Chains A and B, each alone.
Chain A
C-alpha cells in the first residue's frame, strides 16, 4: 500500500470525473496536435512546391551596362557583349553556410546558332536540374538527356515545321529532335534546348555558363542572406533574388501558422481552466477524505502528492490519447484541406511534446487546488464529520 495505490483506486472509483478530465484535456491536445500537424504537412508541401515552382535566385555575370531589355523587348541599336561564368566556379556554392537550403542549381549556356541560314538562340542545360526546375514545361516526346539531342521551343517548331525524330542541322552539326516544347508564352518558345556540354561545344564556350538559376528553400532562412553568401563565393557575378515568390508563400504559411498557434493556445487555456475547475470541485468533494488523511498523520506534502499524482496520470493519459486523436484528425483533414497533396509525417518531437505539454498544463492547473487541499486544516475538514 502506497500513495499511488490510493490515487489509482480513487481514479477507478470516480471514473466519470476522470473521464471528463481526460476528455477535456484530450480535446485540447488533439486540437493542438491537429493544427500543428496540418501546418507542418502543408508547410512541407509548400516547400516541395517551391522546389518545383522554379528558381528564386538568379546568378548572372556582372555587367557594368544597364539592361535595355524589358518584357522581351530589346531596344534597337543596343548591342551588349555577353560575359560568361566559369562552370567550375559553381562548386563554390557548396561552401555557403546555407548550402542545405539550396535545392537545385541549374546552370545554362546561351548563344546564337545558325539553322538554315537563320540565327536562333540555343540554350544548353543540365537536364536533371533544368527539368526538375521547369515542371510546368509540357513536352511532347522526352526531355534531352545527352549527346546531340534537341528540345525545341514552340515558335521554332512552327518556323521550321518540325516533328519528333527530325534531324536539324545546327552550326553544321546534326541534332536529333527528341522533344517538342508546348507553347509557354515566354522566351522559352524561341529556344533550341540541348545538353549543357554539347551546347558549350557547339557555341564554342567550353566550361562556361551564361547564367545559373537556383531554387532555394528559405523556410528557415532569409533569402537576402543567401544572396549575400552567394555573392561572396561567386565574385564577379550579380546574384538576384526573385523574392516575391518566396516571400508571398512564406508569409501565407506564417499567417496560417500564427492562426494555428492562436487557436491552439486558446484551446489549451480552455483545457487548463477545465482541469482547474474540475480539480477544485474534486477537492471540495474530498474535503472529508483529506481530513481523514491529515488526521491519521499524512503530511501536507503527502496530500499534495496525492492530488498532483492524480493530475499527472490523468494528464499523461489525455496527452497520449490526445496525440493519437490529433493524428487521426490530421489524416482525415489533410485530403480535404490540400487536395490530398500534403502528407502526414511522424514527428517524434511533437508526440513527446504533446504528452509533456498535457502533463505540464494538467499539473499547472492542479497546483492551486492541490495547495488548497494540502493546506486544509484537519480540524476544518473533520468538522464535516
Chain B
C-alpha cells in the first residue's frame, strides 16, 4: 500500500520574467516502511521534492497524497497540523534551537500538544535514549558534537511518532565516522518499520536504501525499484 503518492507534480519558481522548473510531471508512489534515497546533481529538484512532500512548498500543479490525504487540499492551519502529526524533518544543518537544551529541543514539537508536561518529558527522554544520548539531555546544542546534534534532530523529528520521516542530507556536514553512526540509526528506525525519505549526495549511502530515485532536471531519471544493483552501477 502506498503511503505517499505524487501525481503529475510540477513546481515552478518565478523570479521576475524568469521561470525555473524544479519538478516536472513527477509521479511517485512510496510504500509504507520504505527507506527511499533521493539522489541527483545540484538543482535537480531533490530539496524541492522534499519540500513538496513535507507540505512546505505547494506544487504549481499536480496532487500530493500522504496516507490518502490530499495535503495541499488542506487549509494552512490544517497543513501545520498535518506536518506535526504525519511528518518528521531532519535538516542538514540540524536546526536546533540554540537556547534550548537537547531535551527541550526534542520536546519542541510537543509544546503545542495537549500532553501533560510529564508525558512530554518522558517521551523526549525515551527518544533521546533511543538515539543514544541519555547523558546529554541537559546540554545546549553548542555543547554537543555535530553527530550528537544530528541525533538530537533525529530524536526531535521522531518524538511525535510520525509515519513519515523526511531527511535532507542529514550526513552532509558530518565526518564519515559520525555519518556512519547516523545512517546506522536511520537504518534501525527503518527496520522498526519507519518510512524514511532521505536526500543525499553521498553514493556511499546507497547501501542503506531499499529504494533510490535519481532526479535530473526535475524528473525521475532512474528508479531502483526492483533493480537496485543496476541502479547503483548507473549512478
A residues adjacent to B (C-beta < 8 A): 1-3, 5-6, 9-10, 12-13, 288-289, 292-302, 377-379, 382, 385
- Residues A379 and B98 in contact in the complex (CB < 8 Å), given A1-B110, A6-B111: no
Q: Is the CB of B77 within 8 A of A2?
A: no
Q: Is the CB of B108 within 8 A of A295?
A: no
Secondary structure dominating the interface of A:
helix
Secondary structure dominating the interface of B:
helix
Residue picked from B82, B109, B120, most chain A C-beta under 10 Å: B109
Q: Is the CB of B51 within 8 A of A302?
A: no
Q: Cα distance A232–B80 when bound, in Å?
A: 73
User: Number of contacting residues on B, CB 8 A?
Assistant: 36
Q: Is the CB of A1 within 8 A of B80?
A: no
Q: Is the CB of A297 within 8 A of B84?
A: yes
- Residues A296 and B156 in contact in the complex (CB < 8 Å), given A5-B104, A5-B111, A385-B91: yes
Q: Is the CB of A297 within 8 A of B97?
A: no
Q: Is the CB of A292 within 8 A of B95?
A: yes
- Residues A299 and B104 in contact in the complex (CB < 8 Å), given A13-B99, A385-B93: no
Least CB distance, A160 to chain B, in whole angstroms: 91
Which of the residues B57, B81, B99 comes within 8 Å of A10, measured between beta carbons? B99
B100 on the interface (CB 8 Å rule)? yes
Q: Is the CB of B77 within 8 A of A298?
A: no
Chain B residues lying within 8 Å of A292, measured Cβ to Cβ, are: 91, 95, 97, 108
B81's closest neighbor in chain A, by CB?
Answer: A297
Closest 6 CB pairs of A and B: A297-B84, A13-B99, A1-B107, A379-B57, A297-B83, A379-B56
- Residues A1 and B56 in contact in the complex (CB < 8 Å), given A295-B83, A297-B83: no
B214 on the interface (CB 8 Å rule)? no
B160's closest neighbor in chain A, by CB?
Answer: A297
Q: Cα distance A273–B85 when bound, in Å?
A: 39
Q: Is the CB of B51 within 8 A of A379?
A: yes
Q: Cα distance A300–B78 when bound, in Å?
A: 11
Residue picked from B51, B92, B97, most chain A C-beta under 10 Å: B97
